[in-house]
A and B are shown apart, each in its own frame.
Chain A
Amino acid sequence: GAGVSQSPSNKVTEKGKDVELRCDPISGHTALYWYRQSLGQGLEFLIYFQGNSAPDKSGLPSDRFSAERTGGSVSTLTIQRTQQEDSAVYLCASSLLRGRDNYGYTFGSGTRLTVV
């Protein structure tokens, strides 16, 4: 597609429920990233995919968080047993990596998750 697409754009869920957030990256971008942006905070790295593998998942806050990517394209971030502190905007980005050069991210519009 022309840009990075995320769905849903907004999600309100009850504490304890599971949620799935979806990201569809730019066609041809092999790298995909998930970040979290909380009110007044910067961007917190969660996980990074190169193809279908995740070389760096060091930012996942707990084992309630998981992510997968299939076909080198769409990625799903799953949060199990949601807590109120999970409320944030979850951002997905994709990029073209060529050798050592990162050409910069293209971000999606994000999913605003509210846990009530």
Chain B
Amino acid sequence: AQSVSQHNHHVILSEAASLELGCNYSYGGTVNLFWYVQYPGQHLQLLLKYFSGDPLVKGIKGFEAEFIKSKFSFNLRKPSVQWSDTAEYFCAVNDEKKGGKLIFGQGTELSVKP
């Protein structure tokens, strides 16, 4: 069955540190890929998405992600985190043959210390 794995359950960084959150998926077909963010007390918001084309995708708030097909990965990166990036981050995959259903990873909680 299709699945999404986020390797880090909880990441703690100091401000200005670089961030990389891992995401791997198990499906070998054509997929759409997403990262969502949930700030404390807020609803889930789309950070960035990949359909096709340039595998390096830029999103909001300085985030970017790179799709590496050979590794089934879609890691999220940010060169310098801020305290306001403290949130939970979810990777998601959509099998384009299965309509709009997204499969989500378990999430990674990011805590940024000021």
Contacts and interface: CB of A to CB of B under 8 A. Distances in A.
Interface of A: 31, 33, 35, 41-43, 45, 48, 50, 55-56, 91, 93, 95, 97, 100-110
A102 B96 contact: yes
Contacts of B36: 105, 107
9 contacts: A31-B100, A42-B107, A45-B101, A45-B102, A48-B100, A56-B98, A100-B96, A102-B32, A106-B46
B100 A43 contact: no
A31 B99 contact: yes
B44 A107 contact: yes
Contacts of A102: 32, 94, 96, 100, 102
B99 A55 contact: yes
Interface residues of B, number: 24
A10 to B, nearest CB: 13
Interface string B80-114: 00000000001000101111111111110000000
B34 interface: yes
Contacts of B43: 91, 107-110
B106 A41 contact: yes
A37 to B, nearest CB: 9
